[in-house]
Structure 1
Amino acid sequence: MEMSFVGRRVSRVLLGAALVVSGAGCAAQPGEHAAAAAGRSDVTGGRGTVVSVTPVVSMSRSQVRDYLGDEGLTSPPPRSGVSGFRVVYRTVSATGRPTVASGVVVLPSDTAGTVRAVSFTHGTHAGRSTAGSVAADGQSRIAAIYYATAGYAGVAPDYLGLGEGPGAHPYLDAASEASASLDMLRAARAVAARQGRGLERRVLVTGFSQGGQAAMALGRRLQSGTDSYLRLGALAPISGTYDLRRAQLPESLRARGSLDPRVSAFNLAYATVSWNRLHHLYKAPSEVFQAPYDTTVERLFDGSHDESDIFPQLPASPDRLVTQRYLRRLDHPSGALLRAIRAADGTCDWAPSVPTRLYGASGDEQVTFGNTRNCVRALRAHGTRPQVVDYGTGTGTDHFATLHRALPDTLRWFQTQT
């Protein structure tokens, strides 16, 4: 539940210095391919069927080294050049209707044969143009390139309604995160085959923040055998929002709590607007948002605004954003609000049968580490004993630092999983 790869777009407004990305990429107009695909009568096939493939990155190993080096991702050193593609594919909406979504697939170009996929599910994006399939500096594109240069297939979905996907993004809806991510992996198999490559059966799954939640949901789907070929190989989510009801929301709303109140206001606004679209929380925005935000918040989260646009138009804390009545509802959710929260929670309520490691930091100022503690507790209740990496408190333990530290750590750990 954050803004970009390392806060780059918001840093100029709020969060301070960020890591700057330079690299190749050609961004289409958001929604261009999706709109075309939706209107084409010759687009046939089931979920995961590829609609379009567009090359977006081609780098030699030295170019990858420079690209990732600008991010501070210097270890392990790149092993291969990469070729990456924007993929538009068929999937289903949050209500189960046919739609299309997009994502990025990056393959190592200096090796041949079959490769193992790493699925990386990204953190919060409000603007569709910041997704990795269209943004050269997108969080998930950077991650996909990082894993690909190590010899894996980097597979990164945009989710619904971001990148080239039509409609609004159903923020924090775990079921659609999982379905879009699984269908992206299916599409990635087809893309790899077009490049003369195969994908191994077992998928390594990771993701950050909102994507940590998505990774848990995807892992469960893969383990269940929903796909006839793909299976879960290992699971390593990072700083996930696994428990809104008992961890994230209470800490976000607590006076003088440990989380950044401005970020909490952003996340609450985004979630509330998105939940209303799916679960009908209110008839008029004034029922939940204070003036003047009741007249502006919904349009801010229409997919055309990124975080640098949104933050200056929101208040400094949740209590200045929403009504006292809505705060009471959040404390004791019921009805539509409870259904919306339950649609986000529960992603840890199962027993992974593969190696599982959760990364996070007690000092995280955006996603409370209570999410990870509660996830571990739920997994253990099902008989699983996950490993936990807590980066602690102090310097280098803020939210984006956990991603920056965990990318190399997950890669090294994945390399031990045979």
Structure 2
Amino acid sequence: MLIEKIKLWAARGLLVSWAALGLTASTSCIKEDTPLAQAPAAPETHLVSSTLLGEYSTTMLASRVPEIPLAGALVRYPIRAYKLTYTTRNPDGQMVAASGVLLVPVTTQALPLLSYQHGTIRPDDESRAPSYYRSGSEVYSAVSVLASTGYIVSAPDYIGYGVSKALPHPYEHAASLASASLDMLRAAKEFCQKENVALNQKNFLLGYSEGGFATMALHKLMQETAADEFTVTASAPGAGAYHKTAFARYILESTQPLSFLSTYVWVLDTYNRVYSINRPYSYYFNQPWASQLQANPFGEVPTQASQLFASSFRASVLNNSDTQMLAAFRDNDIYDWKPTAPLALFHGTADDYVPYFNSQDAYNAMRARGATQVELRPIQGGNHFSSVTVYTLEALGFITRYY
């Protein structure tokens, strides 16, 4: 029934607007002659607490997305929203508390688990993080409708939001985005076991923009380190910056105005801190921007890269002599690996925020490694924001093929 509804949705061209989107320990087998004292330790517990935020009827859920005339037909189950608090590791390796929201359809049927990674949220807009579950966030609206169609949705806040808001968000840091999302999935699974919520064995991954990058990183981490816990059924990352080294060169070589340089500053600041490079702002930026960004890292910046970035820094990256920062970029290159589960890359061909080549490079590299179930889904003429609605519909249609 779900598949037929989505096909009907697609056929009528009814697109949901998700405007906010843009912006491991594995256990080994115990041999029969292995003494009990040498048996592996019990799996680490991640779930700390759960709080019911509310239960929402199908009528209420349908009303949250009035731009979808067929929302009433798509909505299938009431849902309950729970705030989960769980443990994960900060980029420095310290165990910290993190949070997220778990959306649970009200049914006894065993359902798949879907990890939804949200897009960029500025620190001054922190209340849009999933665990607040407030009107105006994509998790409250469209993702809740998605859950009601028959998915148990795990939506991590990431480090730096929700209960961990006192910590800096490791923006576009692949390892911690992935681990925070995976540990939220572990906490979600523990919650379902504790509350007798039936899960089947299918696991889906979705996310756009920073969420697309996080989704790609999560898929890779799950496949490489957590296959004994979760098998990825299918994933559909959208418009992520998967090829960081090429992206950095694109920015620093650019001669045309770039409207999103302040966001790129955030990435640079994150890598400077996370990788303990710890250079002053004056190393990276010209004055007066260096002093202004020191005071407010999210302040206004010029649109020309040559005006903002110090010429010595630009040259050191472009001539490959800045070994520390180049190593950080390479550590966040997640485009060149071989996924074994179906993966569809969605990206607007006119995206001037996260250029299309990020998805094209990932597709080419994955195919070259022998990945046979990877697809490239260009959104013709779409920019980073206008592509969101098309991504929403087509990504849902893609994962529904494997439901």
Band of TM-score, shorter chain: 0.7 to 0.9
- Aligned position for 1:23: none
Task: Report the Cα offset of residue 267 of structure 1.
Answer: 1.9
Superposed displacement of residue 47, structure 1? 5.3
Q: Distance in 2 between matches of 1:142 and 1:319?
A: 40
3-state DSSP of counterpart to 1:400? coil
The residue number in structure 1 matching 2:389 is: 404
2:95 to 98, 112, 122: 98
Q: 1:391 to 1:9 in 2, by over 3 A?
A: closer
Amino acid at match of 1:58: E
Instruction: Give the distance between the partners of 1:290 and 1:389, measured in 2 at CA.
Output: 39
Q: How does 1:13-32 map to 2 (within 5 A)?
A: none
Say yes or no: does 1:295 pair with 2:280: no
Change (3 A) 1:99 1:282: closer
The AA in structure 2 aligned to 1:230 is F
Tell me the equivalent position of 1:338. Answer: 326
Deviation at 1:52, TM superposition (A): 2.4
Q: Closer, same or farther in 2 for the Cα pair 1:46/1:354, shift >3 Å?
A: closer
Q: Which whole-Å deviations, capped at 9, do the CAs of 1:92-144 have from their partners, x for residues lacking one? A: 111222112111111112x2232101111122223143322125123344453
Task: For 1:204 and 1:54, locate their aligned partners in 2 and report how far apart those are by CA, in whole Å.
Answer: 24
Other-structure match for 1:328: 315
Residue in 1 aligned with 2:276? Answer: 280
Q: In structure 1, what residue type is equivalent to 2:132?
A: V
Q: 2:266 aligns with which of 257, 267, 270?
A: 270
Identity within the alignment, %: 25
Shift of 1:383: 0.1
Cα distance, 1:5–1:410 mapped onto 2, change above 3 Å: closer
Partner of 1:164: 163
| 1:391 aligns to 2:374 (yes or no) | no
Higher mean alpha-carbon deviation, 282-291 vs 145-154, is at: 282-291
Q: Within 5 A, what are the aligned runs for 1:6-405?
A: 6=19, 49-69=46-66, 74=71, 77-109=74-106, 111-127=107-123, 128-134=126-132, 136=134, 137-165=136-164, 166-226=166-226, 228-246=228-246, 248-257=247-256, 261-263=258-260, 265-301=261-297, 310=298, 313-333=300-320, 334-345=322-333, 347-385=334-372, 386-393=374-381, 397-405=382-390
Q: 2: distance between equivalents of 1:405 and 1:74?
A: 16
CA–CA distance in structure 2, aligned partners of residues 404 and 149 of structure 1: 19
Letter in 2 for 1:68: V
Specify whether residues 278 and 417 from structure 1 end up closer, same or farther in structure 2 by C-alpha distance, changes over 3 A only: same
CA change 1:384–1:85 in 2 (3 A) is same
**8 Å Cα contact 2:21/2:209 also seen in 1:** no
Structure of higher CA gyration radius: 2
Deviation (angstroms), 1:69: 2.5
Contact 2:22 2:209 survives alignment (8 Å): no
**Cα pair distance change 1:200/1:384, threshold 3 Å:** same
Contiguous gaps of at least 5 residues in structure 2: 1-16, 24-41
Whole-angstrom distance in 2 between the partners of 1:86 and 1:126: 21
CA contact (8 A) 2:21 2:118 kept: no
State TM-score, norm by structure 1.
Answer: 0.79
Q: Which amino acid aligns with 1:232?
A: V
How far apart, CA to CA, are the structure 2 residues paired with 1:189 and 1:148? 16
How many aligned positions are there? 363
Secondary structure of the equivalent of 1:232? coil
CA 1:173–1:189: 2 relative to 1, 3 Å: same
Q: Which runs of 5+ in 1 are unaligned?
A: 11-44, 302-309
**Cα pair 1:5 1:400 within 8 Å, conserved:** no
TM-score (norm 2): 0.82
Q: Structure 2: how far apart are the matches of 1:295 and 1:71?
A: 47
SS at match of 1:374: helix
The answer to whether the Cα contact below 8 Å between 2:202 and 2:232 also exists between their aligned partners in 1 is: yes
> Taking structure 1 as reference, are residues 277 and 335 closer, same or farther at Cα in structure 2, changes over 3 Å only?
same
Cα deviations by residue, 1:354-390 (Å, 9 ceiling, x for unpaired): 2221111101121111000000011012101311211
Q: Hey, what does 1:29 align to over in structure 2?
A: none
Q: Which amino acid aligns with 2:326?
A: L
Shift of 1:234: 0.7
One-letter identity of the residue aligned with 1:370: F
Shift of 1:399: 0.9
Question: What SS class does the counterpart of residue 170 from structure 2 fall into?
Answer: coil
Shift of 1:206: 1.7
